[in-house]
Amino acid sequence: MKQKKTAKPTGSAADFIPPRPTLTKLRAAVQGCRGCDLYKCATQAVFGEGPRTARVMFIGETPGDAEDRAGKPFVGPSGKLLDRALEAAGIAREDAYVTNAVKHFKWAKDARSKRRIHKTPSASEVRACAPWLAAEIALLEPRVIVCLGATAAKALLGRTFSVMKKRGMVVASEHAEAVFATVHPSAVLRAPRDQRAIAERLFTADIRKVGRYLDKPSKAGKRAREAGPTLAAWPTTENRSATSNARTRSSRR
Ligand code: URA
Ligand code: SF4
């Protein structure tokens, strides 16, 4: 049944997150979200896409015109550019989950062309939508998160985070082993003609850094490998002794 588009928004997507969520349940539930006003003007919500086992999650801003029609993230011009960078960086599509900070397309009609022009979501819209993104991160537990543009970066890393100062660098956060931020692919597409090629090269270079990071053994995996023999040798009540305790402690430094 088509949803009525008059309901007053509740102010947070948290009101629409199903209990014991799975990606499938979330994907179905997001279509009923009325956390903010954006559901009223969009064709549909666009949820993240990619395997549950993806090691890297890319977060954009809001779906664009093409994504709003298709119901899938990053299928328009920005998505094509992202695909090129992923390929150059050797990141397999099956290793990537792609989503947005805000799940409904925000737009205004261009007076002359009548095209739907993308608008940047407000801080309160990003806040209202954050529970969907938090649920995606909690379910996937990606090793690496890549924020594409300031909206995603600020949503994850705080309002004062500067993409320009920290692009391509590993940022420490509680969300994943490593968080990277770079510009949004649409910023590359909007660059002046004479700067477009260099903008794409810089973007691709940032994504290559993500690829190289993924090629390194995971820190969590490294910790587990280091802990493995230590855990196996962990003194039990039967073999506990001061010396083995001391050895275990010093080898864990
Ligand atoms: N831009 C975004 O931020 N997300 C999309 O899905 C498409 C374009
Ligand atoms: Fe809900 Fe997000 Fe859509 Fe707002 S943009 S209605 S919070 S899904």
Phi, psi of 50 (to 5 degrees): 140, 165
What are 219-237's pLDDT values in tens digits?
A: 765 555 555 443 333 333 3
Together in a domain, 115 and 232: no
pLDDT of residue 220: 64
Per-state percent for the chain, helix, strand, coil, to nearest 5: 50, 10, 40
pLDDT of residue 221: 56
Measured between alpha carbons, how far is 186 from 148 in angstroms, rounded to an integer? Answer: 9
What are 81-115's pLDDT values in tens digits?
A: 999 999 999 999 889 999 999 999 999 999 898 89
Measured between alpha carbons, how far is 243 from 159 in angstroms, rounded to an integer? Answer: 50
SS3 state at 22: coil
In terms of residue numbers, what domain contains 226?
Answer: 219-253
Together in a domain, 58 and 85: yes
Give the pLDDT mean for 128-135. 98
Structural domain total, the chain: 2
> Bigger pLDDT: 18 or 1?
18
Together in a domain, 208 and 229: no
Together in a domain, 129 and 231: no
Together in a domain, 155 and 227: no
Together in a domain, 165 and 247: no
pLDDT at 240 over 90: no
Together in a domain, 165 and 233: no
Give the pLDDT mean for 158-171. 96
Q: What is the CA(251)–ligand 2 centre distance, in A?
A: 50
Q: What is the CA(130)–ligand 2 centre distance, in A?
A: 9
Together in a domain, 107 and 231: no
Q: 0.75 exceeded by the pTM? A: yes
Give residues (CB < 6 A) around ligand 2.
Answer: 13, 30, 33-36, 38-39, 45, 102-104, 125, 128-129, 132
Q: Is residue 7 part of a domain?
A: no
Give the pLDDT mean for 185-208. 98
Together in a domain, 246 and 176: no
In this structure, the number of other CB atoms found within 10 A of the CB of residue 152 comes to: 27
Q: What is the CA(7)–ligand 1 centre distance, in A?
A: 26
Give residues (CB < 6 A) around ligand 1.
Answer: 60-64, 67, 73-74, 76, 78-79, 100, 186
CATH code, 94: 3.40.470.10
Q: Is residue 6 part of a domain?
A: no
